[in-house]
Amino acid sequence: MPAKKKITTVPLTGVALIKETCRLIRQARSLWEAHRNNACRNEREKAINLYESLSEAEREKVPQVLRVWLRYRSTKYFGEHRTPPSR
């Protein structure tokens, strides 16, 4: 049985916050490409929450490819006009 991961409760700031945001967007993108939509939706929500907590200058440090993907998928495939997933 693998060891449990330690959960840190220290809020992320600065470079660590930007890195975590990019990691979550990349993770959501890979889940999207693997056609795992529910998992993608969860990772995307986490990424959006972190992205919205960034300042304008910090948002510019997130690669443009990731920003465009996050906005495009958010509005086209997961927007308010879409039917929510069944649970």
**pLDDT on residue 8:** 61
| CB of 64 closer than 8 Å to CB of 16 | no
pLDDT band at 20 (very low <50, low <70, confident <90, very high): very high
| CB of 66 closer than 8 Å to CB of 44 | no
Closest CA to 62 of 19, 29, 24: 19
At 54, phi and psi to the nearest 5? -75, 150
pTM of the predicted protein model:
0.76
Residue for token digits 């959960």? 7
pLDDT band at 87 (very low <50, low <70, confident <90, very high): low
DSSP reduced 3-state for 41: helix
